[in-house]
């Protein structure tokens, strides 16, 4: 199967209307497996469109919040059901828009819809807490109120799951309205979900989409005074920039929640199940072509296993079939664009500088004619000697150990002592998003639980997250707690305490003369 041009012409969706997009002066998105094939062209919007969308969202929010949470949840379920009926088509669109293999493309849709249903199910769960009071006749409880308009700035690597499932679903079910800015590299899935939201009957102004570049749309959206919460997933540089801007005191209680980059690793213990170790390492390096925020590029292996493991992992990486993700025998798709390829080549240069042994040299894939039109690269693997005088400090460490590659370039580092030494190597980074350990030793597992950074996987790959679990990194991977799970509720709601007193209210006891005067005036 070969990539075909889709030639979609996307339109902004504001206040329940599709805004006509005339001419060709837009942002073009190409299939990364065939860069000559146009997937879509979208408006190159700006501040005016952002202002219009936010204004409509603010106008619609009061009526949306006045609906019962059950009614809002029903619309989310309807959206999930409609998307389910199109899973094959939408899964292929994921593959064509950003390159991941079709099983992952359909998985993106499946998890987006599962997340819609998960947050819809919260309409049937407890929405607050009841507290006992030390004051007689007083009842205290909390309730959740929507924050208002939520601005969503989403990435290209999970074009349905992150913007729709992790970000829009919780914001909407709790009574907020949204303005969503998808990535320029894969905007098509958000457009399709907007069409389906319109079809199932979301009220006007509740679900808004504005296409455009980050500085022209993302920044004005984050800085708009009527946007109460900003949900961002993307690069550390952009996230930190937006966080600094939105922290200005003039914004009062604006919240910025960001999931940023990672430099993730796996520890392979000499007490591991060997097959599990190989599978976990291969999956962590190759899934989504290492273009997941949790993907691993640092493999910390006990010295007892280093030679055997490096040779066997290299064999698996050399066997990896690279190509167009719609073909069922393909293991790994392309990188997203030319900039990603340049970054990949930069990390290969780091490997030449820092690796003591190059096991898989990597490089651009040109094996077949169809590879020449895509951003296909080979997995690369090298062995490095960890320099304890240099590499333990992220400020001085080798670049290949500290910079996020977002491409399949992996470094093997050995440790000779116990797991505490491996954990020091794992933690030698400014990031702290995810970590994995392959071991059958309970003591090592318990040390890993407390000593490893970020989301932790034991005897598994650094590739996944369940919807109902926290998805929270540490250090440079996190700003204000990462959304995309049950914890996001705090980002899109105010938790408000309510106190109800019986009469007479003992806390209203007044001084004698004042009390007598109140009694006279009230007829008590």
Q: Which residue has the higher pLDDT, 488 or 241?
A: 241
pLDDT of residue 487: 67
Q: Quote the strand ranges of 132-262, DSSP E.
A: 138-146, 149-153, 177-181, 207-209, 227-233, 255-259
pLDDT of residue 490: 83
| Average pLDDT over every residue of 403-429 | 96
pLDDT digits (tens, 9 = 90+) for 386-396: 999 999 999 99
The pLDDT-based confidence of 486 (bands split at 50, 70, 90) is low
pLDDT of residue 172: 97
Q: Give the whole-angstrom CA distance, residue 320 versus residue 371.
A: 15
Strand order through the sheet with 227-233: 17-18, 13-14, 207-209, 177-181, 149-153, 227-233, 255-259, 478-479
The pLDDT-based confidence of 23 (bands split at 50, 70, 90) is low
Say if CB 499 and CB 279 are below 8 A apart.
no
Domain spans of the chain, in order of start:
8-260+477-498, 264-467
Residue 483 has pLDDT above 80, yes or no: no
pLDDT digits (tens, 9 = 90+) for 178-228: 999 999 999 999 999 999 999 999 999 999 999 999 999 999 999 999 999
What's the whole-model pTM score?
A: 0.94
Question: Which residues, at least 6 apart from 326, have a Cβ–Cβ distance to it below 8 Å?
Answer: 1, 3, 92, 95, 96, 102
Fold match, 8-260+477-498 / 264-467: no
Indicate the fold that domain 8-260+477-498 takes in CATH. Aldehyde Dehydrogenase; Chain A, domain 1 (3.40.605)
Residue 516 has pLDDT above 80, yes or no: yes
pLDDT digits (tens, 9 = 90+) for 435-469: 999 999 999 999 999 999 999 999 999 987 788 87
Averaging pLDDT over each range in 120-129, 358-367, 461-470, which range is the top one?
358-367
- Residue that is written with structure tokens 């936010």 in the block: 54
Q: Whose CA is closest to 97, among 185, 3, 193, 209?
A: 185
Q: Give the whole-angstrom CA distance, residue 192 versus residue 362.
A: 36
Say if CB 32 and CB 3 are below 8 A apart.
no
- Residue that is written with structure tokens 């989403």 in the block: 154
Half-sphere exposure (Cβ direction) of 225: Cα atoms closer than 13 Å:
4
Residue 127 has pLDDT above 90, yes or no: no
Question: Which residues, at least 6 apart from 388, have a Cβ–Cβ distance to it below 8 Å?
Answer: none
Say if CB 287 and CB 457 are below 8 A apart.
no
Share of the chain above pLDDT 90, in %: 83
pLDDT of residue 129: 85
pLDDT digits (tens, 9 = 90+) for 244-269: 999 999 998 899 998 888 999 999 99
pLDDT digits (tens, 9 = 90+) for 225-238: 999 999 999 988 99
Q: Give the whole-angstrom CA distance, residue 3 versus residue 31.
A: 8
pLDDT of residue 209: 98
The pLDDT-based confidence of 474 (bands split at 50, 70, 90) is confident
Say if CB 83 and CB 190 are below 8 A apart.
no
Q: Over the chain, what is the mean pLDDT? A: 94
Q: Which residue has the higher pLDDT, 168 or 490?
A: 168
Residue 24 has pLDDT above 80, yes or no: no
Averaging pLDDT over each range in 391-395, 411-415, 505-509, 513-517, which range is the top one?
411-415
Under DSSP, the state recorded for 30 is E
Residue 524 has pLDDT above 70, yes or no: no
| Average pLDDT over every residue of 489-496 | 87
**Second CATH level (architecture) for the domain 264-467:** 3-Layer(aba) Sandwich (3.40)
The pLDDT-based confidence of 523 (bands split at 50, 70, 90) is confident
pLDDT of residue 207: 98
Residue 381 has pLDDT above 70, yes or no: yes
Three-class DSSP category at 464: coil
pLDDT digits (tens, 9 = 90+) for 296-351: 999 999 999 999 999 999 999 999 999 999 999 999 999 999 999 999 999 999 99
pLDDT of residue 214: 95
The pLDDT-based confidence of 14 (bands split at 50, 70, 90) is very high
Calculate the CA dihedral of residues 12, 13, 18, 24 and round it to 10 degrees: 10
pLDDT digits (tens, 9 = 90+) for 55-109: 999 999 999 999 999 999 999 999 999 999 999 999 999 999 999 999 999 999 9
Give me 347's structure tokens: 């990390």
- Residue that is written with structure tokens 């799951």 in the block: 161
């Amino acid at each position: 199967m070969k990539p075909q041009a889709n030639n979609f012409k996307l339109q902004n969706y504001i206040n329940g209307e599709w805004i006509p997009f005339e001419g060709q002066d837009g942002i073009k998105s190409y299939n990364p497996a065939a860069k000559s094939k146009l997937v879509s062209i979208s408006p190159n919007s700006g501040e005016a469109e952002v202002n219009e969308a936010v204004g409509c969202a603010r106008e619609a929010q009061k009526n949306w919040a006045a609906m019962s949470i059950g009614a809002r949840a029903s619309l989310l379920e309807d959206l999930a059901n409609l998307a389910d009926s199109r899973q094959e088509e939408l899964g292929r669109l994921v593959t064509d828009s950003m390159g991941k293999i079709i099983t992952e493309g359909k998985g993106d849709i499946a998890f987006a819809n599962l997340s819609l249903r998960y947050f819809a199910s919260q309409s049937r769960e407890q929405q607050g807490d009841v507290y006992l009071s030390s004051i007689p006749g007083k009842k205290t409880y909390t309730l959740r109120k929507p924050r208002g308009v939520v601005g969503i700035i989403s990435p290209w690597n999970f074009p349905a799951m992150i913007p729709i499932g992790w970000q829009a679903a919780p914001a909407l079910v709790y009574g907020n309205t949204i303005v969503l800015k998808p990535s320029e590299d894969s905007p098509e899935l958000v457009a399709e979900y907007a069409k389906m939201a319109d079809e199932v009957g979301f009220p006007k102004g509740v679900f808004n989409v504005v296409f455009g570049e980050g500085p022209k749309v993302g920044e004005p959206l984050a800085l708009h005074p009527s946007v109460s919460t900003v949900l961002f997933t993307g690069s550390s540089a952009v996230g930190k920039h937006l966080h600094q801007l939105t922290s200005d005191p003039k914004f009062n209680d604006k919240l910025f929640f960001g999931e940023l980059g990672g430099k993730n690793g796996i520890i392979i213990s000499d007490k591991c199940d060997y097959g599990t170790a190989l599978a976990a390492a291969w999956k962590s390096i190759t899934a989504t072509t290492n273009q997941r925020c949790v993907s691993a590029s640092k493999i910390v292996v006990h010295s007892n296993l280093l030679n055997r493991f490096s040779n066997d992992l290299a064999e698996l990486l050399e066997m990896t079939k690279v190509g167009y993700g719609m073909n069922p025998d393909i293991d790994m798709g392309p990188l997203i664009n030319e900039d990603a390829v340049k970054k990949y080549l930069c990390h290969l240069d780091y490997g030449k500088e820092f690796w003591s042994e190059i096991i898989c040299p990597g490089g651009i894939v040109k094996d077949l004619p169809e590879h020449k039109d895509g951003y296909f690269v080979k997995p690369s693997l090298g062995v490095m000697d960890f320099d304890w005088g240099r590499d333990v400090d992220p400020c001085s460490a080798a670049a290949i150990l500290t910079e996020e590659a977002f491409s399949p370039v992996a470094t093997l580092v050995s440790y000779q002592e116990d797991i505490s030494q491996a954990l020091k190597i794992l933690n030698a980074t400014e990031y702290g998003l995810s970590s994995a350990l392959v071991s059958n030793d309970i003591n090592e597992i318990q040390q890993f639980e407390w000593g490893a950074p970020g989301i932790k996987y034991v005897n598994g790959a650094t590739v996944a997250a369940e919807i109902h679990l926290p998805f929270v990194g540490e250090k440079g991977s996190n700003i204000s707690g990462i959304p995309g799970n049950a914890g996001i509720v705090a980002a899109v709601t105010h938790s408000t305490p309510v106190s109800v007193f019986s009469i007479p209210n003992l806390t209203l006891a007044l001084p004698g003369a004042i009390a007598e005067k109140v009694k006279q005036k009230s007829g008590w």
